[in-house]
Chains A and B, each alone.
Chain A
Amino acid sequence: MSLTTVLSRQNATQDTQSISSSATKALGWAALVGFAILVVLAFAWVPADTRITDQGDVVGQFDAVRLMFVHVPSAILAYTGFGITFLASLGYLRWRTDWWDIMAASAAEIGVIFGVLTLVTGSIWGRPTWQTWWEWGDVRLVTTLVMVLVFIGYLAVRRIPANAAVKARRSVVIALVGAANIVIVNRSVDWWENRTLHQQSTLLARKIRDETLFTLTFAFVVGATLFGWLLLHRFRVGYLERQITEQEVQKAIAERQAESAAHDTGSLTQASNPTGQIQPQSKTSP
């Protein structure tokens, strides 16, 4: 998505007073229908993971492999969310506009949702296949956990009421340092005990059945659609929140100026405001 399309979308949201549009509704329906199809594909179409060894034993992950269709896309989308937060934080540092701040916040929230989903499904999947709920030596597990914790902290800081600019700057620092931290944690866990249980890129090695591969790809598409839908909506909620705040502030300024005028016995109120940039406004409802 190029910067210009992003910016034109920003203008589009200014016109609408709703968090949805026909485009996002279509996106939402697509995600919903896609998910329904995914459920059918994952449970009915894809066979259970079984292999017969040379000795004639039946091995494999059996039905547990179906968790892959939730786990793998949500892991990638969680990292995508945190990646967007990181980039949007850099964007805020450079351009200092609300747009980047709201984008960073929205992506972080969705990233945390997908991150938690990744950890939970991974843990459930790990029990039958690795015989453990959790493996401390696994780099990806520990890195993802720490990352989710860092961004939970990020959201906690965002919840603290403060001037929008102050909040935005605090958040930028946590997001950027947090991103650097993820790299450090990843490296240190890797050195600490590199005994990863994760399978190495089965996708690229083509060791995967065609049905499974198709369903996994489809799951990516559905997940990405859901992600986009959530992000657009969350962004618009944030954007409208700012607009309401701005309207409230304008109203408060008008009231305060009226208060000042009431104190002013003379007729020189206008003269005290020669630039005329802020005039008492008519009290329209927000």
Chain B
Amino acid sequence: MLREMRLVALKDLRIETRVRVGITQILPFALAVLVLFAFALDTDQQALRTYAPGLFWVTVLLAALLAIGRSFAVDLADGITDRLLLSGIEPQAAFFGKAAAIAIQLVVLEVLLGFGVVLLFDVTVYRYGLLVSAGLVAALGLAAAGTLYGALVAGLGVRESLLPLLVLPVTAPVLIGATRAFQDAFGVAGAQGWAWLGLLVGFAAIYGVFGALSYGILLEEA
């Protein structure tokens, strides 16, 4: 199980480091969204600082949709979908492997985007521990939910429009929780950051369990 999971995750990451869609396309897209937010909110530095946590997580969510879509697109080429069904890889291992690869990409994205927010929106970080843990756990939760729905729509002709419709409503709790935790970490609002981290942990755990269980159902037959 662990070995298969590693196999799947390393395969996805290796392809990503070769093709670099994340760095060359998704990250610039995310930065462009941040810049658009700055335009939309005018040049009010105070407003930008206040809303930086929310803007950051909306941007991460949008970029995550692209990363999830990309991760499943890789497995659609040239009959690979069939081969994966035939491969004998446990559905749970496939789920966790894929989710892990997406989570790692999201963490990298969050780090780079985090620098962007600090530079562009003039944010000061007060609680690094909270910031890092919230970022990690939220990435896990997003990856778990995204992998579940990504597999569900993979191979469907309408997946580009269907994935956001399915993923965005269910990731609302991540947006709320991670935003609150970041507000606390940035010191822009007196939120109870660590309590919100608990919500993020719960979300990631629930979607981890559900995803692992559902993957078997989804992959049962073609």
Contacts and interface: CB of A to CB of B under 8 A. Distances in A.
Interface of A: 93, 146, 149-150, 152-153, 156-157, 160, 165-166, 169-170, 172-174, 176-178, 180-181, 184-185, 187-189, 191-192
Nearest to B215: A173
Interface in B133-180: 148, 152-153, 156-158, 162, 165-166, 168-170, 172-173, 176-177, 180
B173 A160 contact: no
B166 A153 contact: yes
Interface of B: 148, 152-153, 156-158, 162, 165-166, 168-170, 172-173, 176-177, 180, 195-196, 199, 202-203, 206-207, 210, 214, 217-218, 220-222
B169 A146 contact: yes
A189 B196 CA distance: 11
Nearest to B198: A191
B152 A188 contact: no
Given A93-B217, A187-B199, 14 more contacts: A146-B170, A146-B172, A149-B168, A153-B166, A153-B169, A160-B156, A169-B218, A173-B152, A173-B214, A181-B170, A184-B203, A187-B173, A188-B172, A191-B196
Contact of B162 (A149, A157, A180, A187): A157
Determine the main DSSP class of B at the interface with A.
helix
Given A174-B152, A184-B203, A191-B199, A157 B172 contact: no
Given A150-B169, A157-B162, A173-B152, A191 B210 contact: no
Determine the main DSSP class of A at the interface with B.
helix
B158 A160 contact: yes
Nearest to B211: A177
Contact of B206 (A93, A160, A184): A184
A57 to B, nearest CB: 37
Contacts of B220: 169
A165 B222 CA distance: 10
Contacts of A178: 170
A98 to B, nearest CB: 16
A5 to B, nearest CB: 29
